[in-house]
Structure 1
Amino acid sequence: MTHRKRLLVPLLAATLLSPTPVLAQDPLSPPPPPAGPTAVEAAAPAALTKADVELLVDGFLPYALQRGDIAGAVVTVVKDGQILFTKGYGVADRETNEPVDPEKHLFRPGSISKLFTWIAVMQQVEAGRIDLDTDINKYLGFKIPNTWPEPITMRHVMTHTAGFAETVRDLIVRGQDHPLELEALLARWIPERAFKPGTVPAYSNYATALAGLIVQRVSGEKFEDYIDKHILAPAGMKHSSMAQPLPPHLAPLMSKGYGSSRDKAQAFEVVNHAPAGSLSASGADMGRFMIALLNKGEAPNGRILTPESLAQMWKPQYRPLPGQELAMGLGFYEQNRNGYRIMGHGGDTTLFHSDLAMWLDEGVGLYISFNSTGDDVSRGPIRDQLHRMIADRYFPPKTKPAEPAVAAAPIKRAVPVGGTYYMSRRAEGTLVSLINLVGQGDLVTNDDGTVTFSMFRDYAGKPKRWREVAPDRWQEPGTDSLMHTKTDASGKVTAITTDDYPAIFIAQPVPAGINKGWNLPALGLTLTLALFAVLWWPVAALVRRRYGVAHPLTGRDLLADRLVRGAALASLICLGGFATVMATAIDPLMFGELDLVLRLLQLAGLLGVLGVFPAGWRAWKLWTDRNAGWWARIRASLMVLVFLYVLWVVETFHLLSLKLDY
């Protein structure tokens, strides 16, 4: 539940994806100052008034929504303990053409729901029931396996460094009456622990759901009831709930959710990992939530947290790379801009897309939410641009960096920057890990000395160019956009991240075994050879029939040839089918709607793997037959290689798993 759809494949095309995008260091140390010359005087900020905000948003958002094919949106701005501006745009229901009402219509904030879960955790910390640095197994009714000697703590969970691999299945479903029972869901299948706790950021909905379950267990209250009683009610959020389905008095107020502004409304999304993203809330209520936080936890109907707890949540806890500008707090992440301290969170379901940002020292908050996916490209940039417009108009830089001197000496590297990388937020140990084969980005040194990383792109979809302005610190020329790297003693880049995204993942070198550089050509050649073997089968039969020629093979040789061709067909179905599912059907895969398809593809994969035996026997026969032709021998040997590669893919990417957990 987050934004940046352009990272869809490398980040699993997953919903609940935090904003839209390890290392030994002091997580509390401040980042180094920007490299470059001295600063010059900055422009004065505009007055933050309701009229001025409305003029700004009205001049941008209606066109942006139409351009992005989005049906409706809500925007709320708070200031000095009051809702300064809240307004709906577009429609909440296309059938009735009902305009969005920011006071009554509920939107789904997606992963912004996690903030409520983290606050609930901190409430239990205040009550002495949870210790942030204790093994979370202490609070669970089942055991997280000890993959690493170091236990997972709640601090790891809240900074997304627990180390869990990505999960997809049953995350969000539609057409289901209620979510699965939380403890049974989380205990049934525990995802692989891919990283040692506290070392690598890997955004995890599963870990967040564990946190919500722990709140439920230690408080003795059902999770959604706890949130309602201890956060929503004190904050005066009467048009909000984490219950699924919604309570009867709120259900009629739920905005419809759309694929695009022209599509029919889709069913209410049920988030099974409820603590990670089940909230439904009006835009005005999200304003009340921000006001309570900016008022140091004091809400109209009671305190939700102490100022000390909030200060701890907003204190930098973890930076993925040394020198990185943006850090993770406890649950909140930094969105700092222009020298101002900004904390918040983004969120996406499959239909709703939202962002929340708070200027902590200025007492200002911004919330925006869409009720449509739209054109699949624009929703992230629209949110980003509105945030940027608010920041630059009302909170411009206090000092403005001057342009770097033309004669500045470039950073010289012993080894040219380059390599192939994939994101730390990824599936491991399940069939969805096949996405890792195509979800890889290239780091390339350009002729002008800049570098590009294909996963970090601008609004036009083009890879940004970065120039190294200090060791392992890169800046996009003419902007304040920064990329950070980590380099080992040999000069190889071992990690990449950017302040364009929150500190919830890094890019890591792809192991040689699954590098796309050789796997994609090998996969293409395998599919081509298998297709040729399959197509030649009926073609040869028709030719023989046309000219009345008998099949040149008999007995076991004929049987082996037919088994090889049948296995080639099965391999085509398996590899082609899985590739199609991963590229085009992530939502049905998540909803669990493709179980039968996956089982059939697995059966095809098994038959394809077994093809190595008749192919090997056939090749051995031909190579030991002095009368056999060289073309026949080569063709038979190539088919052996085809099935060996199919075996490699099936084994490496776990395509034949007995359980459909992913």
Structure 2
Amino acid sequence: MLAVPLVFLGMNVFMGHEAEAAATPAVPAALSASQLEQSIDPIMQEELEKRHVPGSAVVVTQGDRIIFSKGYGYADVEQSIPVDPAKTIMRLGSITKTVTAVSAMQLVEQGKLTLHDDLNTFLHAYQLPSFGKQPITLHHLLTHTAGLDESIYKIQAHSREKSLSAEQYLRQYFRQQPPVREPGQEYEYSNAGLGLVGNLIEQTAGTDLGAYMFQNVFTPLKMPSASLTVPESSPDMAKSYVYSNKKYTAVSSTYPHIPGAGALSVIPDEFAHFMIALLNQGVYQGTALLKPDSVEMMQQSQFAEHPKVDGVGYGLYRGHLADGSTVLTHTGEIEGFAAKMELIPSQKLGILIVSNGEEGGITYNKVTDAVAGLLTKKTEAVTPLPYSLEDLQQYERTYTFAKVPQHGWGKWLYFLGGRNYKVTAAEGKLVVSGVFPDGSGETAEKSFVPIADGLFQEQEGGMQLLIDKQHHWKMTIIQETTFSPEPGFWKRPSTLLIVYIVPGLLFLALLAVTLIRYVVRLFRKPRRTVSLHITAISLLMSVFLLLQLTYSNGSITFGYPAWYAWGVSSLPLVAVLFALHLLWRNASQAVKGKVVALTRCFVAIACIGYTGFMYYWNMLSIHFS
């Protein structure tokens, strides 16, 4: 068992090269390192021990310099190497998307890209399929409103050598998974969308995305450790861990095929330079990363589900503090690493927290809330609308969501269910129970009061709900995802899972019975005939189902080799051929009421129907959608 005692590194308050930049105007409510340490240390001490997170780094910037930088715990548990935010390389996951957005805005400034023209104008290696008449634009991708299907299949590789280029992956992705909704209509977080932005940059600039960022982002910002890969050979690269059975197990690194969506590795103190630039009109130490107008455009609301919500910018999520000040955030999680970046433009304050444990995501909100709490004490009063209980009862429903593809491999993951939220009316509020996107994974109950028609604000928090009566009673957790009313019985994940499992168990049982009959037949005279067709059907279906359950789900993000995609996944289709022949041979006897013939026809029809079910859910080598 690996035990991880909590280690506090000495705090680094940078007053050296950071102070070389030109002085910035005095910032109201300036924070001191000691203030931050007093607020952050107790949280980190409690959270790392409670959540079994091996290590974390916290970096805070204000104005044009780092004012707080501290490591907690271990970057490498086995070697007892502590986290050092000035040295340790950590993975930031989807915070990469903000860097990708900045890179795209650079090309927009240069006139090489535009925000609102059809992307097919700029793509040369392949063309995007469309949904309806509205073309997909860069604006849609940067706001997660392009209407793209969920990207799960073959999205990453076990090693750098086996990884695909973004162009190879996206060409395959769009061939198999066309868009699923009209662009610009609905927010839905999309890895494929920002991955496409990364490849758009590659096709426009004529270079690899990592090389582009190195030259145009990392070098100007003095971020030499930053890269879109995992420098596993570096002694400074942190390991990530899962905690189970009272011990830590290191997580193997993976390599995304679309690095623009989440592949950034960097030293936390170096990433602070990126935050400083975004908080200072695109400038770091006299070097302009972007023009002020472009930075302002990134930070403004570019899409909002409702006029009264903060909305999303380009590569940034908007919110506000208790005093109404705008706050900009992005989070990231990848293979055990969890990170959050928070920017408060009015204070020129930036916060980065990154951890190497799977439950680090619960901790980062507590840290950013504590730092923001040092800046404002004013409580923003929520003025609810005077809705009666009867007014609120119209919203009572169970809403459900499963973030799975609608096309291609993985459609069947819908069976495994998603999140369900039960909405109940109470006096002056809605009570919502479910697993909320706070990282805890636990069912909770929250109260929401109406603040506009269909818009509800959490009573003791910042979460907002939008329930759209005009569009089939869809419920949206703002800046998260959209839910639909729970479907009827036959379309529910739990029902479909039963429909999938029960016939599968029957085929397994049929195979067992058939094999037993073969064994008995060896010792019994006269020997009774065992149907070759039923033996073949039960064997083919059983082999497929066993491999589907034991191999398919766990390997889907890495893609399937040909032996599975075209071999194993075709076994039910071969079984159907045996079933059709069995029907043809026994139909006439079945019509006459012969029991054996009826039994064989039942098995054949079950095989055909079950294979049709699996075809619809894209489990076979040929797909319905």
Whichever residue aligns with residue 94 of structure 2, its letter is S
With 82-91 and 146-155 compared, the bigger mean Cα shift is at 146-155
Counterparts in 2 of 1:614 and 1:221: CA distance versus 1, 3 Å: closer
Cα RMSD of the aligned pairs, angstroms, is 3.5
Q: What TM-score, normalized to structure 1?
A: 0.79
Q: What is residue 556 of structure 2 aligned with on the other side?
A: 589
Aligned pair partner of 1:278 in 263, 269, 275: 263
Residue 412 of structure 1 aligns to a residue whose secondary structure is: helix
1:606 pairs with 2:573: yes
Mapping 1:534-573, distance limit 5 Å? 534-540=511-517, 550-551=527-528, 554=529, 558-559=530-531, 562-573=532-543
Q: Give the drift of 1:109.
A: 0.8
With 174-183 and 330-339 compared, the bigger mean Cα shift is at 174-183
Give the conservation status (yes or no) of the 8 Å contact 1:165–1:202.
Answer: no
Query: Aligned residues: percent identity?
Result: 22
Whichever residue aligns with residue 435 of structure 1, its letter is L
Residue 63 of structure 1 aligns to a residue whose secondary structure is: helix
Counterpart CA distance in 1 for 2:549 and 2:392 is 38
Counterparts in 2 of 1:208 and 1:442: CA distance versus 1, 3 Å: closer
Whichever residue aligns with residue 526 of structure 1, its letter is P
Map Cα deviations across residues 599-655 of structure 1 (whole Å, 9 max, x no partner). Answer: 5530333244445425645773554224538xx84x556535532442233221222
Q: Give the drift of 1:523.
A: 2.3
Q: What is residue 463 of structure 2 aligned with on the other side?
A: 481
Give the conservation status (yes or no) of the 8 Å contact 2:92–2:264.
Answer: yes
Residue 506 of structure 1 aligns to a residue whose secondary structure is: strand
Q: What is residue 464 of structure 1 aligned with on the other side?
A: 445
Q: What is residue 430 of structure 1 aligned with on the other side?
A: 408
Q: Give the drift of 1:58.
A: 1.6
Q: Give the drift of 1:348.
A: 1.8
- In structure 2, list runs of 5 or more residues that go unmatched: 1-27
Counterparts in 2 of 1:170 and 1:156: CA distance versus 1, 3 Å: same
Residue 436 of structure 2 aligns to a residue whose secondary structure is: strand
Whichever residue aligns with residue 570 of structure 1, its letter is L
Aligned pair partner of 1:578 in 529, 548, 562: 548
Counterpart CA distance in 1 for 2:400 and 2:161 is 40
1:201 pairs with 2:187: yes
Counterparts in 2 of 1:146 and 1:254: CA distance versus 1, 3 Å: same
Counterpart CA distance in 2 for 1:215 and 1:153 is 13
Residue 234 of structure 1 aligns to a residue whose secondary structure is: coil
Mapping 1:246-285, distance limit 5 Å? 246=231, 251-260=234-243, 262-263=247-248, 265=250, 268-285=253-270
1:139 pairs with 2:97: no
Q: What is residue 482 of structure 2 aligned with on the other side?
A: 506
Aligned pair partner of 1:368 in 353, 360, 365: 353
Counterpart CA distance in 2 for 1:268 and 1:518 is 36
Mapping 1:123-138, distance limit 5 Å? 123-138=106-121
Mapping 1:320-469, distance limit 5 Å? 321-322=305-306, 325-338=309-322, 339-373=324-358, 378-401=359-382, 409-412=388-391, 417-419=396-398, 421-423=400-402, 425-446=403-424, 450=430, 452=432, 454-456=434-436, 459=440, 461-467=442-448, 469=450
Q: What is residue 24 of structure 1 aligned with on the other side?
A: none
Give the conservation status (yes or no) of the 8 Å contact 2:466–2:475.
Answer: yes
Counterpart CA distance in 2 for 1:656 and 1:536 is 26
Q: What is residue 288 of structure 1 aligned with on the other side?
A: 273
Q: Give the drift of 1:467.
A: 4.9
Whichever residue aligns with residue 312 of structure 1, its letter is M
Counterparts in 2 of 1:46 and 1:427: CA distance versus 1, 3 Å: same
Q: Give the drift of 1:256.
A: 2.7
Counterparts in 2 of 1:457 and 1:329: CA distance versus 1, 3 Å: closer
1:650 pairs with 2:617: no
Counterpart CA distance in 2 for 1:542 and 1:220 is 66
Q: What is residue 8 of structure 2 aligned with on the other side?
A: none
1:523 pairs with 2:503: no
Q: Give the drift of 1:528.
A: 3.6
Map Cα deviations across residues 437-476 of structure 1 (whole Å, 9 max, x no partner). Answer: 2234444454868554645366461143445635423455
Q: Give the drift of 1:658.
A: 5.7
Q: Give the drift of 1:211.
A: 1.8
Counterparts in 2 of 1:420 and 1:572: CA distance versus 1, 3 Å: farther
Q: What TM-score, normalized to structure 2?
A: 0.83
Residue 192 of structure 1 aligns to a residue whose secondary structure is: coil
1:303 pairs with 2:288: yes
Give the conservation status (yes or no) of the 8 Å contact 1:464–1:476.
Answer: no
With 598-607 and 193-202 compared, the bigger mean Cα shift is at 598-607
With 437-446 and 258-267 compared, the bigger mean Cα shift is at 258-267
Aligned pair partner of 1:226 in 207, 212, 217: 212
Q: Give the drift of 1:418.
A: 2.6
Counterpart CA distance in 2 for 1:416 and 1:527 is 39
Residue 58 of structure 2 aligns to a residue whose secondary structure is: strand
Counterparts in 2 of 1:652 and 1:455: CA distance versus 1, 3 Å: farther
Comparing both chains, which one has the higher relative contact order based on Cα–Cα distances under 8 Å and sequence gaps of 6 or more?
1
Q: Give the drift of 1:289.
A: 1.2
